[in-house]
Amino acid sequence: MSDRRIAFTIDGRKIEARAGQTVLEAAEEAGVYVPRLCWMKGLTPAGACRVCTVRVNGRPQSACTQPAAPGMIVENDTEELRELRRDVIDMLFVEGNHFCMFCEKSGACELQALAYRFGIAAPKYPFMFPRRELDASHPDIFIDRNRCILCGRCVRASQELDGKHVFDFVGRGRDKRIAVDAEAGLGDTDCAATDRAIDACPTGSLLRKRVGFAVPVGRREFDRQPIGSDIERPAAAE
């Protein structure tokens, strides 16, 4: 990797990227938040959720997979893109069974936090109410597929960070779901409660058992400030 700086703009703001950085990474370093769900620091980007969609020289691209290039004109926080992201988040909600009111991830869930950030009070699309399987066979880990958004973070984290292959996708289209590498369920895999794949889940789909609501309301990750606030810095502060 060279030290050559790559200059481009996001919403008119000048950004300098290092060679090999994606638009999302360069933006984050510069204090610009690009909303994302399937992206996680330390994992190969997948470009799966499309929440990070930006316009690069006018073309829609996922910021998490788009390498920064000199002279790019990137649009991020525009009404059009906000609307598109709202729609994507909305569809993720109605496609699963996301009941925040009794979900222990509530207040620390990235999907819910994005919905709050984008002002989604209720979905505009009809709920699909899919029938999804639970897997409680592991002594320390619980899978609730009702809350899975197929971001694939657990799939990648298991392989890239844990050196295992516990999770993968099966099925296609609306039947696509997360599977584990044992027919009898997660309890038969080499998944451990210490696996980083468990922490990778942005929603309440992969949970450590018996933790539940140990963190009181008011002290949960997104109780204090909206998601992305820790990244955002005004341009003047640079």
Q: Given the rule CB under 8 A, which residues bind another protein?
A: 101-102, 104, 134, 136-137, 142, 207, 209-218
Query: Which of 82, 132 has the CB closer to another protein?
Result: 132
- Facing residues of 74 across strands? 10, 56
**In the complex, minimum distance from the CB of residue 190 to another protein, in angstroms, rounded to a whole number:** 18
Query: Which of 11, 140 has the CB closer to another protein?
Result: 140
Query: Which of 38, 143 has the CB closer to another protein?
Result: 143
Q: Give Cα 183 to chain centroid, integer Å.
A: 27
**In the complex, minimum distance from the CB of residue 109 to another protein, in angstroms, rounded to a whole number:** 14
**In the complex, minimum distance from the CB of residue 139 to another protein, in angstroms, rounded to a whole number:** 8
**In the complex, minimum distance from the CB of residue 99 to another protein, in angstroms, rounded to a whole number:** 9
Query: Which of 45, 107 has the CB closer to another protein?
Result: 107
**In the complex, minimum distance from the CB of residue 78 to another protein, in angstroms, rounded to a whole number:** 35
Query: Which of 71, 216 has the CB closer to another protein?
Result: 216
Tokens of residue 97, six digits: 């069974």
